[in-house]
């Protein structure tokens, strides 16, 4: 329910053909790309054009999100009602933060009437400014400017307060720090309409990966400490965190092969996420298989507006995958379906893979 296909505007990074093939290879039958595109998906005309392109070119179901604010500039709201009429599943300015509390309050009020969640990139840019990785011991040792965990938690606290006041639905993007997990847990206990997601890399890797993989482990929010990884796993286990995402964010080699201070944030995740869920959550007993699958299927479907997916019953869409839990393979981005190669797991031994993927009753991946 959270990825980036770079369309429209950046076909050198990814396109609908490669992005949908990569998602299918990873076992995803439906994805929601976020709107940090060129142009931004901030009006019905751009959205309709993209939906028409998807119908012609995509191998899987692609349901584009629309931006909260015009141009993702955080200055004025996008025409949310008009976008809702085009069946958007959520609103997001992911990659950018709606810094104005007053504007976010209005967004939550409007989205409440439309019954669509606001999915927000929780980051105080004044705290994150100039940082390239998590502000911890590894950053100090490497001499790299850090981004503190408070940059996420401060903004999440603001949004939770606003959601409580407006009764709007706030969905916290890619949670990665222990204090934020605890904040969401308390908010849910108080009845606030808040949901949350975590990426596979945030419960798999720590900031130590930056020392080993450089810019290929540079992600925003940055990889945290082992305590943060443990907190995310606990949050997934007790239901604080509802969904598992990839935040698939392709970049070209030229863009990513830079010094970590200047390289862009982001990594690709479609083709590794399912195996990482097995190795880090299911096999160690953090989640049962059913619980893990629910966080990638039925739970996202319940959060998103107008998405009836993730169900196995008569009359449901025949979107199915068959998984070989014992299949062993080695992560090799050079052989991925994605156009991009910015993956920090190169050479990692993996277990578990989708061997058949069926979309609308049509086999799109097979051995």
Show which residues are catalytic.
247
User: How many whole angstroms separate alpha carbon 152 and alpha carbon 128?
Assistant: 9
The Cβ of residue 339 has, within 10 Å, a number of other Cβ atoms equal to 20
Quote the tokens at residue 75. 């200055």
Query: CB burial class (10 A; 0-12, 13-18, 19+) of residue 140?
Result: exposed
User: How many whole angstroms separate alpha carbon 301 and alpha carbon 89?
Assistant: 9
Partnered with residue 197 across adjacent β-strands are 243
Q: Helix H segments across the chain?
A: 16-25, 44-57, 80-84, 101-114, 125-128, 137-142, 150-166, 178-189, 208-213, 226-238, 253-256, 273-277, 289-294, 298-303
User: How many whole angstroms separate alpha carbon 227 and alpha carbon 71?
Assistant: 36
Where residue 360 falls (left for φ over 0; alpha for ψ -120 to 50; beta otherwise) is: left
Find, among 53, 231, 263, the residue nearest to 153 by Cα: 231
The Cβ of residue 335 has, within 10 Å, a number of other Cβ atoms equal to 9
Collapsed DSSP state (helix, strand, coil) of residue 343: coil
In order of 88, 147, 176, 264, the CA distances from 235 in angstroms are: 28, 22, 10, 28
CA angle 291, 315, 358 (to 5 degrees): 65
Quote the tokens at residue 333. 């981005």
User: How many whole angstroms separate alpha carbon 19 and alpha carbon 340?
Assistant: 9
């Amino acid at each position: 329910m959270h990825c980036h296909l770079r369309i429209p505007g950046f076909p050198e990074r990814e396109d609908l053909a490669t992005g949908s093939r990569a998602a299918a290879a990873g076992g995803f039958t439906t994805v929601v790309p976020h709107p940090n595109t060129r142009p931004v998906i901030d009006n019905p005309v751009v959205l309709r054009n993209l939906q028409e392109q998807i119908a012609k070119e995509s191998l899987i179901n692609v349901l584009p999100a629309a931006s909260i604010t015009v141009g993702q500039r955080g200055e004025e709201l996008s025409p949310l009602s008009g976008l809702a009429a085009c069946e958007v599943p959520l609103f997001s300015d992911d990659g950018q933060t709606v810094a104005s509390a007053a504007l976010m309050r209005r967004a939550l009020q409007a989205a409440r009437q439309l019954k669509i969640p606001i999915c927000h990139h929780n980051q105080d840019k004044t705290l994150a400014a100039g940082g390239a990785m998590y502000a911890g011991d590894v950053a100090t040792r490497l001499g790299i400017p850090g981004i503190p965990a408070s940059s996420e938690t401060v903004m999440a606290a603001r949004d939770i307060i606003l959601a409580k006041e407006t009764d709007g639905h706030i969905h916290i993007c890619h949670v990665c720090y222990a204090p934020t997990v605890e904040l969401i847990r308390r908010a849910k206990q108080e009845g606030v309409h808040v949901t949350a997601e975590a990426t596979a890399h945030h419960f798999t890797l720590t900031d130590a990966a930056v020392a080993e993989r450089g810019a290929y482990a540079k992600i925003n929010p940055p990889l945290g400490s082992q305590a943060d990884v443990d907190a995310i796993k606990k949050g997934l286990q007790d239901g604080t965190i509802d969904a598992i995402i990839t935040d698939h964010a392709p970049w070209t080699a030229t863009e990513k092969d830079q010094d970590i201070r200047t390289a862009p944030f982001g990594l690709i995740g479609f083709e590794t996420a399912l195996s990482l869920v097995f190795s880090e959550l299911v096999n160690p007993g953090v989640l049962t298989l059913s619980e893990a699958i629910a966080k990638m299927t039925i739970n996202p479907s319940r959060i998103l507006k107008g998405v009836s997916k993730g169900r196995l019953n008569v009359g449901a869409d025949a979107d199915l995958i068959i998984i070989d839990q014992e299949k062993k393979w080695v992560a090799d981005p050079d052989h991925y379906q994605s156009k991009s190669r910015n993956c920090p797991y190169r050479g990692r031994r993996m277990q578990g893979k989708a061997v058949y993927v069926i979309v609308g009753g049509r086999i799109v991946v097979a051995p």
